[in-house]
Amino acid sequence: MTQPLSVAILGASGRMGRALVDATLRNDRLTLSGAVERSGNPSIGIDAGVMVGQSASGVPVSDQLSEVIRAAAVVVDFTAPGATLAALEACTAAGTPIVIGTTGFTPEQKLLIAQAAQSIPLCIAANYAIGVNVALKLVELAARTLGSDYDVEIVEAHHRHKVDAPSGTALAFGEAAAAGLDRDLLSNAVYGREGQTGARKRETIGFATVRGGDVVGDHTVLFLGDGERLEIAHRATNRANFANGALRAAAWLVGKPAGLYSMRDVLSLND
């Protein structure tokens, strides 16, 4: 019988961290080998299983990042850019694969991630939900098929505590549409409109952001033509779908050669 894969969860007491701990403990093919939080976090020392409402797991939440990473077959990180880079350094030193769900990286930080992927297998995605990644593929296909006669607008909504906007997933949808249209998103994105903005430019890919309540994550990509409108939408009602997708990526990543991977690789959506 194959031994369960040992997984370490970083940012364990956060919204996604708790979902990941819970999903790992419920998965017979995985075992929780570590749960990490920053020093001073009130969850330090608490059993990770008890923290998420399950029975004791025997794994206390720890602030010993390097030690936990060395003991794991794979690391899953949903924290913040600075914390992710620290984890990336520890993973590189230990030769441990890492799945990154953190968003909001600067171009310079993205370069550091790409450099780390030369030494270890690394998977990074704006969203690990299986449905979202299928929707990304559909958006690219729709953009390529409909072409420049259709205007593209992206609307996203998240809970009041989310700190970045637009969401990483919304930006991923924008990149998918831009790829299908052979456009550069950076040059054509519009992130807000107010006042006398003038007529919409054909090349624009627009973003609208909503924040409030406990919305887990809603994304809608609109292709607006003359006489018809196509909408591709994804609604997340809880974080289990993100967690299960990230754990699927973690299991897939183990044993892969060093490189920078995405959920398109995990789900064989590159063709």
Strands 74-77 and 5-10: parallel
Distance CA 81, CA 212 (A): 23
pLDDT in 10s for each residue of the chain, 271 residues: 578 999 999 999 999 999 999 999 999 999 999 999 999 999 999 999 999 999 999 999 999 999 999 999 999 999 999 999 999 999 999 999 999 999 889 999 999 999 999 999 999 998 899 999 999 999 999 999 999 999 999 999 999 999 889 998 999 999 999 999 999 999 999 999 999 999 999 999 999 999 999 999 999 999 999 999 999 999 999 889 999 999 999 999 999 999 999 999 999 988 6
The catalytic residue among 110, 137, 158, 256 is 158
DSSP secondary structure string, 207-250?
A: EEEEE-TT--EEEEEEEE-SS-EEEEEEEESSSHHHHHHHHHHH
CA dihedral 129, 132, 137, 141 (to 10 degrees): 170
* Annotation marks residue 159 as catalytic: no
Distance CA 187, CA 193 (A): 16
pTM of the predicted structure, to 2 decimals: 0.83
Closest by Cα among 253, 254, 213 to 237: 213
Residue 226 corresponds to which tokens in the numbers above? 């003359």
The catalytic residue among 137, 159, 162, 219 is 162
| Domain architecture of the chain: domains with CATH | 5-124+239-266 (3.40.50.720), 130-236 (3.30.360.10)
Number of H helices, E strands in the chain: 10, 12
User: What is the DSSP secondary structure assignment for residue 91, as one 8-state letter?
Assistant: H
Q: Which amino acid is located at 242 in the chain?
A: F
Distance CA 266, CA 94 (A): 23
* Annotation marks residue 158 as catalytic: yes
